[in-house]
């Protein structure tokens, strides 16, 4: 590489930084995407992040009170069945 080559990096060095925390606990030093506050690796890329709306909500009643009591009753029934089987040995 010739020594007379000059690389203009002023724009990149003066651009705002991402600022997200890395796994090592330091702050990410990658440049933030244009119009964003994060870099492409920390959520600045298009279509990154959670889907819009409430699509990640618990929909299937897995945590409803009646489902919890039903699972508890099934578990108790299975425990009694195992005790009964152990008593027959």
Taking the chain (89 residues) in runs of 10, the rounded mean pLDDT of each run is 73 85 90 87 78 65 79 96 91
28's tokens: 């990410």
Q: Is residue 21 part of a domain?
A: yes
Structural domain that includes position 79:
60-89
Tell me how many domains the chain contains: 2
Q: Is residue 67 part of a domain?
A: yes
Q: How many CB atoms lie within 10 A of CB 31?
A: 17
Which pLDDT score, from 0 to 100, does residue 28 have? 92
Instruction: Based on the fold, state whether residues 65 and 42 are members of the same structural domain.
Output: no
Q: Is residue 5 part of a domain?
A: no
Which pLDDT score, from 0 to 100, does residue 43 have? 83
Which pLDDT score, from 0 to 100, does residue 83 have? 95
pTM: 0.43
Q: Is residue 23 part of a domain?
A: yes
Question: What span, in angstroms and rounded, lies between the C-alpha atoms of 27 and 23?
Answer: 9
Which pLDDT score, from 0 to 100, does residue 76 have? 97
Q: Is residue 79 part of a domain?
A: yes
Helix spans in the chain (H)? 10-14, 65-88
Instruction: Yes or no: say if 16 and 38 are a contact pair by the CB < 8 Å rule.
Output: no
Q: Is residue 4 part of a domain?
A: no
Which pLDDT score, from 0 to 100, does residue 42 have? 87
């Amino acid at each position: 590489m010739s020594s007379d080559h000059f690389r203009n990096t002023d724009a990149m060095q003066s651009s705002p930084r991402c600022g997200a925390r890395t796994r090592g606990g330091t702050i990410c030093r990658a440049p933030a995407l244009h119009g964003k506050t994060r870099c492409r690796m920390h959520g600045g890329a298009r279509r990154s992040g959670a889907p819009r709306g409430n699509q990640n909500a618990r929909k299937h009643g897995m945590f409803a009170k009646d489902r919890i009591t039903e699972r508890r009753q099934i578990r108790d029934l299975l425990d009694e069945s195992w005790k009964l089987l152990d008593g027959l040995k």
